[in-house]
């Protein structure tokens, strides 16, 4: 049994990432405030341009509502930022990086307008 465990550990060891291959990242800013009642703030920044700031408050239904942003720099030097709100309606990110849906074609918009007029007039289809 011990031999089997030793054999498993020995076979996995080469697949583990080597520590010297990972870049060392220093934290240059680390601020945390927690009032203990569900309200908190934290902010950190690393020397590789990754940063995050979040403020949290207690929500009406017992959840924690959060608002904040995170930022990073791509290898080509482009900076990216995502702003977000997380509350009873879920996680709501905003960023130029996020994909947006294609605009609806004119005929689809016309069909939606007609359907809204019919609903307003009390017309229903079954």
Residue 46 belongs to some domain of the structure: yes
Q: What letter would DSSP give residue 118?
A: H
**6 domain-assigned:** no
- Listing DSSP states for 1-70 in one string gives -HHHHHHHHHHHGGGSPPGGGSPP--EEEEEEEE-SSS-EEEEEEETTS-EEEEEEEE-TTSPEEEEEEE
pLDDT tens digit sequence for 50-100: 999 999 999 888 888 999 999 999 889 889 999 999 998 899 999 988 888
Q: According to the model, what pLDDT value does residue 6 have?
A: 53
Assigned domain for 59 exists? yes
Distance CA 92, CA 87 (A): 8
pLDDT, tens digit, 9 for 90 and up, residues 18-37: 556 777 889 999 999 998 88
In a domain, 3, yes or no: no
Any domain includes 15: no
* Averaged pLDDT for residues 100-111: 91
Residue 8 lies in a domain: no
Domain count across the chain: 1
* Full residue range of the structural domain in which residue 107 is found: 23-120
The answer to whether residue 7 sits within a structural domain is: no
């Amino acid at each position: 049994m011990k031999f089997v465990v030793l054999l498993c550990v020995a076979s996995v060891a080469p697949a583990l990432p080597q520590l010297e291959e990972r870049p060392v990242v220093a934290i240059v800013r680390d601020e945390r405030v927690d009032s203990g009642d569900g309200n908190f703030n934290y902010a950190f920044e690393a020397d590789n341009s990754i940063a995050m700031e979040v403020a949290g408050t207690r929500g009406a239904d017992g959840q924690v509502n959060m608002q904040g942003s995170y930022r990073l720099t791509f290898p080509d030097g482009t900076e990216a930022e995502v702003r977000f709100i997380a509350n009873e309606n879920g996680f709501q990110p905003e960023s130029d990086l996020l994909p947006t849906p294609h605009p609806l074609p004119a005929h689809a918009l016309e069909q939606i307008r007609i359907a809204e007029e019919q609903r307003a007039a009390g017309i229903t289809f079954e």
